[in-house]
Chains A and B, each alone.
Chain A
Amino acid sequence: MYGLKAISAANGWTITFTGLAIVFTGLVVLAAIMANMERFLALWDRRGELLAGFKHPPRKQPFLVQEPRTDRPEAPTTDKTRVHLPLDQIEVADHFHLITNRLGEPFSLAQLLEKASKHGLSSPHRHLDTFLKLGIIVEDSGDRQGFYTWANDVEIVRSSAEE
């Protein structure tokens, strides 16, 4: 038997439509589960918090505890990390600062290296590597990933052996 008759005799149309429906359903279900998996896992991670909400429903009237008011401003945190560098590297860091002041922050490392080489600074690449390793220059985040800034929480001090 040939042609459409053969297809009908073997239930070809039914098998094709059912088969395609099953393949699509399988992958659609899997895609739907996996698309929401991140959300399920986030809920799972917050399960303690959510269950606590059920066990101890929040009071209708807000229950505020008035903290005694102090007019003193909060003390600024001053726990900066101290990084010890030899004098020549401190000079390079100062030079880099001059360049980045002109470039603006966050800055491009490629531009920094280009300017440093133009200014005749010796071994700018090696120094940049050191500053990155020590966390003196750090990468920005979000839209500015790939650009760099000077770390705020690092204080450069001269190595004691040289003082």
Chain B
Amino acid sequence: MVSTRELRETEFLRDFHESELSDLAGIAAHTRWKEGETIFHAGAPAAALYLLRVGTILLCFPNGRSMPLRDEGHAVGWSSLVSPFRYTATAVCLSDVRLYEFSGRELYRLIQMNALFGQRLMQKIAQIMEQRDRYRRGTPVSFGRD
């Protein structure tokens, strides 16, 4: 069971309203992953959005680029809210990782219920997309001999 207080302390959700946090807490789940485990694969149907609590995740894009996420509060799995609802990167745990997991379908239901919450959430998602787009869109580069 995830508490509203825990979510409030997450950077990603800091400016969300108490009632919205309580709705989010209702659909959130704690998940734990071991070092080396893959949280999701690029191209797989995107079912959940995750917020990082502890640990390091490496996002590996199909073009060979990658991006480590270390700070608490990073969101991964934005594709669960944006069509075509397929992950654009593979998320691999570089250490033991603890995450909050939110079902994409449940999140979408909350967005439909509350337009202002939807606006705030989608703005944040758009920011993340913009930041990661540089990694996703970069062309594959071959530097080596292998």
Contacts and interface: CB of A to CB of B under 8 A. Distances in A.
Classify A-B as touching or not with yes or no (CB < 8 A): yes
Interface of A: 102-111, 113, 115, 123-126, 128-129, 132-133, 143-148
A137 B138 CA distance: 20
A145 to B, nearest CB: 6
Q: At the interface, is chain A mostly helix, strand, loop or mixed?
A: helix
Given A125-B92, A125-B94, A146-B65, A109 B135 contact: no
Contacts of B35: 123, 125-126
B141 interface: yes
16 contacts: A102-B145, A104-B144, A104-B146, A106-B141, A107-B143, A108-B66, A109-B60, A110-B60, A111-B64, A113-B58, A123-B35, A123-B36, A132-B68, A145-B65, A145-B138, A146-B135
A123 to B, nearest CB: 7
Contacts of B65: 108, 145-147
Contacts of A105: 143-144
Contact of B134 (A102, A111, A145): A145
Given A105-B143, A146-B138, A129 B95 contact: yes
Nearest to A100: B144
B61 interface: yes
Interface residues of B, number: 26
B143 A106 contact: yes
B79 interface: no
B67 A146 contact: yes
Contact of B64 (A102, A110, A115, A126): A110
Nearest to B143: A104
A106 to B, nearest CB: 6
Contacts of B135: 145-146
Name which of A108, A133, A148 has the most chain B CB atoms within 10 A of its CB. A108
Contacts of A124: 36
B93 interface: yes
Contacts of B95: 125-126, 129
B90 interface: yes
B8 interface: no
Given A110-B66, A123-B36, A125-B94, A143 B138 contact: yes
A106 B95 CA distance: 23
Nearest to B94: A129
B143 A125 contact: no
Contact of B58 (A107, A109, A115): A109
A147 B64 contact: yes
Interface in B30-87: 35-36, 56, 58, 60-61, 63-68, 70
Name which of B138, B145, B146 has the most chain A CB atoms within 10 A of its CB. B146
Nearest to B135: A146
A76 to B, nearest CB: 26
A145 B64 CA distance: 11
B103 to A, nearest CB: 27
